[in-house]
Amino acid sequence: MKKKILFILCCFFFLFTGCGKNGEVNIVDKFEKKINAMDNYQINGVLSITNNEDTYNYDVKVSFKKDDNYRVSLINKSNDHEQIILKSEGEVYVITPALNKSFKFQSSWPDNNSQIYILSAILKDIKSDTNRVVNEVDSSYVVTTSVNYPNNIGLVKQKVYLDKDANLTKIEVMNDSGIVEMIMTFDKIDDNPSFDDDFFKLSSIISDIDKPSEDESVSSIDDIIYPLYIPSGTVLVEQEKISKDNGERVILTFDGEKPFLLVEETSKVEEEFAIVPIFGEPHFLNDTLGAITDNSISWSSNGIDYYLVSDVMGKTELIEIANSISTIPIMK
């Protein structure tokens, strides 16, 4: 009798543990098949990025068409400031309609690192992590994987939330302390959208931009914005304000163990749409999307263009300085 009971218990144990493993395999396989079957897709959702105690929310619309065409609209919900990431015919642009300007990147985006709103990148993270963990929770699944954010090495893992049909509902990206720094909530994923023939062309986006008035350019900087974080052994040694034809420029020089230069200048609304070549990668900084290289970061926010550069600091510390420049300047 005891042997019979033991045999039954062993069968139950095998059954339940086996189902758990099969559930993990099935949900990942189902998600992979779903993504690979999409020649086109369109995502609507909300991205939240937390920096210290500040949270920045974006309405996100991602459009994808086979053969590596992407168009991503990011609208800051606090000020309706829109930026568009476009990849078409191998070229990558970040378009800022408010400045009538675009940056053209020498970049392999979005294939070079994790992307919280690009389906192929999410699938790649799941498939490449052999130590991923899949948990079933209330008839849905949470897949925990490592991530690859080379420009922000503090981000180490993510939780991918899938419903029972392998539909993506949410992603949380966490730092090495387990604190969630980014959340992408997926409101709708259309797996069969239709696009106009020129939807993924830069010329189409340019023609749709409501040209801002040059009068909207900021004319002066009343308050200089100082970084709240400065590396130990480094101090401000010089600051200079310079008048320019269409506004002002401030140059802040920091010297010491980790010297760096911070330039702040009034943004200019371009009369004709301008394309500015730039090296580096697109990167989120507080309330905007900027450009990061091995030793510099540039971005525009609230009518001010910022440029931060150092010969001795790496990306991680440059980002820490840039993220500490979050005070809204008083302008006229």
pLDDT tens profile 71-107 = 999 999 998 999 999 999 999 999 999 999 999 998 8
Whether the pLDDT of residue 211 is over 80: the answer is no
Q: What is the mean pLDDT of residues 138-147?
A: 95
d(CA 302, CA 292): 19
User: Which amino acid, residue 125?
Assistant: D
d(CA 189, CA 248): 44
Give which of 217, 216, 215, 235 is closest to 226, Cα–Cα: 235
Domains assigned to the chain: 34-208 (2.50.20.10), 219-266+293-323 (3.30.200)
How far is residue 17's CA from residue 2's CA, in Å, rounded to a whole number? 23
pLDDT band of 10, cuts 50, 70, 90:
very low
| Residue 5, H or E segment | helix 2-36
Tokens 């543990």 identify what position?
17
Percent of the chain surpassing pLDDT 90: 72
Q: For 164-182, what is the mean pLDDT?
A: 96
pLDDT digits (tens, 9 = 90+) for 185-203: 999 999 999 999 999 999 9
pLDDT band, residue 112 (cuts 50/70/90): confident
Q: Is the pLDDT of residue 23 over 60?
A: no
- The token pair at 166 is 């392998």
Least confident of 160-164, 206-210, 308-312: 206-210
Residue 282 confidence class, pLDDT cut points 50, 70, 90: very high
Residue 120: helix, strand or coil by DSSP?
helix
Model pLDDT for residues 288-307, shown as the tens digit of each residue: 999 999 899 999 998 899 99
Fill in the DSSP letter of residue 288.
E
At residue 280, the pLDDT reads: 85
Which letter does DSSP use for residue 219 in this model?
-
Mean local confidence (pLDDT), 229-251: 94
Distance CA 264, CA 251 (A): 7
Strands 133-137 and 40-51: unpaired
Identify whether the C-beta of residue 193 lies closer than 8 Å to the C-beta of residue 250: no
232 vs 1: CA distance, rounded Å: 73
Residues 140, 163 contacting (CB under 8 angstroms): yes
CA distance 127 to 145: 9
> Confidence band (pLDDT; 50, 70, 90) for 331?
very low
d(CA 285, CA 297): 9
Position 132 scores a pLDDT of 96
The tokens 């749409």 sit on which residue? Answer: 273
In a 10 Å sphere around its CB, with 0-12 CB exposed, 13-18 middle and 19+ buried, how is residue 114 labelled?
buried
User: Looking at this protein, which amino acid is placed at residue 24?
Assistant: E
Which of 2-6, 71-75, 156-160, 311-315 bottoms out in mean pLDDT, i.e. has the lowest?
Answer: 2-6
Burial class (CB in 10 A: 0-12, 13-18, 19+), 320: middle
Task: Report yes or no: 273 and 204 within 8 Å, Cβ to Cβ.
Answer: no
Residue 18 pLDDT exceeds 60: no
Q: What is the pLDDT of residue 328?
A: 43
Give me the mean pLDDT over the 219-229 stretch.
Answer: 89
pLDDT at 51: 84
- What Cα–Cα distance (Å) separates residue 250 from each residue in 1, 243, 247, 284? 87, 9, 10, 23
Q: Residue 196 is encoded by which pair of tokens?
A: 């106009």
pLDDT band for position 216 (50/70/90)?
low
Q: Of residues 1 and 14, which shows the higher confidence score?
A: 1
Residue 58 pairs with which residues in a beta bridge? Answer: 47, 76
Q: What is the pTM of this model?
A: 0.87
Say which amino acid occupies 323: N
Cα-based distances in Å from 182 to 179, 241, 258, 328: 9, 36, 29, 22
Please give the helix or strand (H or E) that residue 160 lies within, else none.
strand 155-162
The dihedral through the CA atoms of 21, 27, 30, 36 has a sign that is negative
Q: How far is CA 58 from the centre of its chain?
A: 10
Query: What mean pLDDT, rounded, does the chain reach?
Result: 89
pLDDT in tens, 237-247: 999 999 988 89
